[in-house]
A and B are shown apart, each in its own frame.
Chain A
Amino acid sequence: MITVENLTKKFGEVTAVEGLTFQVEEGEAFGFLGPNGAGKTTTIRMLCCLISKTSGEAKIGDYQIGKAADSLQIRKMIGLLPDNVGLYNDLSAFENLDFYGKLYETPEGRRRENIERFLKMLGLWERKDARAGSFSKGMQQKLALARALVHEPKILFMDEPTANLDPESAKTVRDFIIEIKKQGRTIFLNTHNLDEAQRVCDRIGIIKTKLLTIGTPEQLRESLSTPKTEIRLAQVTEVLVSALKKLIPNKIEVSGDKLIIDVTDPDKENPTIIAAITSTGGQVREVTQLVPTLEDVYLQIVKETK
């Protein structure tokens, strides 16, 4: 559905995005994770034909970005939720959606049906005649999301959809995204909310001007983090730790009454480690296998690029 090859964007001397190559399949939810200024918004803007590329190629469906004749076709296929909601504050919720529905040439009956359906799904139907400017930030974000969908796009681009929202609104928006994902729509999501990326996305790309890595959340966790075993003891003493270091080659960190030990193969190594602790006089109270989070992966990768 989305094919990107060596895509680069420069603003004068500044390189915003360099050599991006990835693919997003139809019906897939793809997340772009990265710090501020990493090039996430620039990438979305290039893919939505809002700004030109400097070099490289990108295709949305069968249409090529940067080709004037294809731009209108691409725009018909996509929906965009930008980082700024950009609603018309003097128009009602209904009028905002109706305007965009008309611009996308959605037939009147279908347009009205979609407006009602999306506003109801997002809990805004009762306020359909209220000015968008009178809405709270969360409501405006929901309305902007409905606007991006009113013409039933094949691909939905979202730039930080839950940024600055309260937890309740963020959850509603996130649940709605998951719901539209179930409908088979292709989703391209920019975020720096790791939890959101993990919940919504099938695959994640970590970007910092260049694409640093790409994979499913599980693949990223497995490939980039060392498994750790956390062992809570009755008491951790320096004598015990130094005795243990002589017995096992693993890296050991002390955190209160816990030992956090790097392992390569937990099933094989954990019994040896526990036996070593017991032999040095330690009393094991609890053993937990730590699963690396996406945050660990993200921070590690971003740190490595500094």
Chain B
Amino acid sequence: MRISKAWIVAAKDMRVFLRKKYTIYSLVMFPIIIGIGLPFALHLVITRQGALLHTQHLTDLMSAFAFFFAIGSSLIPTLLASYSLVGEKVEKSLEPLLAAPITDSELLLGKGIGAFIPSIGSLYIGSIVFMVLSDLFTHSTLGYYYFPNWTIGILLLILMPLMSVLSVEWSVIVSARATDPRAAQLQGVLIAIPMFVIYVATEVGAIKLNTGTIWIISGATFIADIILFFLSTKTFQREEILTKWT
């Protein structure tokens, strides 16, 4: 497999994403809302509860809010990957692309990288904004800067990339049957359901989001990555794509 070929496809896809309002909104809106909105929510909690606020409750809330970036990593790449794959189908550009000297795996990898880099980039920028603002608002209450810490480090550097890969692989599978990018995206976001379930579980106190939990979720995501890799490469077959996708 030649990474250079995959990169050509990825660079082209990223260029296309930056020219479509819809994909720009997908990339910008979620990190802005989470990165700025949630620290302000923390600020509101601190202002309202004042001295009554237990610091443990505040740090739990901060960890739970940080998990939104993991949720984002399951949503944004699927929006882009579905757009990219079904977009090729809609624009009927698959035939000349598949006639070029590029293997199925290089093409699939290129599509993956093209969706992965902007998604993870926008989420990282959002997470930096989130950490800085959260620390600014909570420093006076906690007496120290809560972020960065090991939990968010593992979340950002291990779980989020693994989740983004899973999201892209899932998009390949759902895009095979979809004829419209929106339909593919609707099916694609189903991959975020387990992450929402985990978030709700932390909110109701069923699980605690600490370093250990994030490692376990990352491990489970890694196993899911491997399973979906085989399923997605099986779905992404040249002849299938041309005779059934188009």
Contacts and interface: CB of A to CB of B under 8 A. Distances in A.
Contacts, number: 73
Contact of A88 (B93, B98, B101, B243): B93
B72 to A, nearest CB: 24
B233 interface: no
A56 to B, nearest CB: 17
A52 B239 contact: yes
B99 A48 contact: yes
Interface string B58-95: 00000000000000000000000000000000011111
Contact of A80 (B8, B96, B239): B96
Contact of B19 (A48, A76, A90, A148): A90
B103 interface: yes
B96 A144 contact: yes
User: SS class of chain B's interface: helix, strand, loop or mixed?
Assistant: helix
A45 B15 contact: no
Contacts of A72: 101, 103
Contacts of A86: 91-97
B12 interface: yes
Contact of B96 (A90, A95, A105, A147): A147
Interface stretch (A96-104, A114-122, A218-226, A257-265): A96-104
B201 interface: no
A15 interface: no
B101 A90 contact: no
A300 interface: no
A134 interface: no
Task: Classify chain A's interface size.
Answer: 20 to 34
Interface string B12-35: 100110011000000000000000
A163 to B, nearest CB: 14
Contacts of A88: 12, 16, 91, 93
A33 B65 CA distance: 64
Contacts of A148: 96
Contacts of A84: 92, 95
Interface residues of B, number: 25
Given A51-B243, A87-B91, A90-B20, A100 B96 contact: yes
Contacts of A144: 96
A274 interface: no
B95 A50 contact: yes
A147 B5 CA distance: 17
Contact of B100 (A11, A90, A100): A100
A80 B12 CA distance: 20
B238 interface: yes
Interface string A266-286: 000000000000000000000
B242 interface: yes
A104 B101 contact: yes
Contacts of B19: 90-91
11 contacts: A50-B239, A51-B238, A51-B239, A51-B242, A82-B99, A86-B94, A91-B12, A99-B8, A103-B101, A103-B102, A104-B100
Interface of A: 11, 45, 48-52, 72, 75-76, 78, 80, 82, 84-91, 95, 99-100, 102-105, 144, 147-148
Which 6 residue pairs spanning A and B have beta carbons closest together? Answer: A86-B93, A84-B92, A75-B101, A80-B99, A82-B95, A90-B19
